[in-house]
Amino acid sequence: MIFCEFLEHISLLILSALFIFANDVLMETFVTLIIWVVVSYICQYDDIFPLPLSFNATIIRTH
C-alpha cells in the first residue's frame, strides 16, 4: 500500500512535468491513461483511478 502511494506521487510528478513542457492536450491525456493503467496494474486496486483523470482535467482547465 505504501508502495502504491509512492507510485501515485511519482506519477503526479511525471504528469506535472509533462504539463509544464507539453502543450498537446491529446498527448497529455494519452500519457495520463498509460500511467494510470501501469500504476493500477501494479497496485491492483482502483483508488488510483480518479486521481490522474481529475488531475488532468484540472490542468487542462488552467491552460
CA distance 43 to 57: 23
CA-based nearest residue to 49, from 57, 40, 41: 40
**What 3-state class would DSSP assign to 16?**
helix
CA distance 39 to 13: 14
The answer to whether the predicted template modeling score (pTM) of the entire model surpasses 0.85 is: no
Q: What pLDDT, in 10s, does the model give residues 19-34?
A: 766 666 777 777 777 8
CA-based nearest residue to 52, from 1, 16, 2, 6: 16
**Is pLDDT larger for residue 14 or for residue 21?**
14
DSSP 45: -
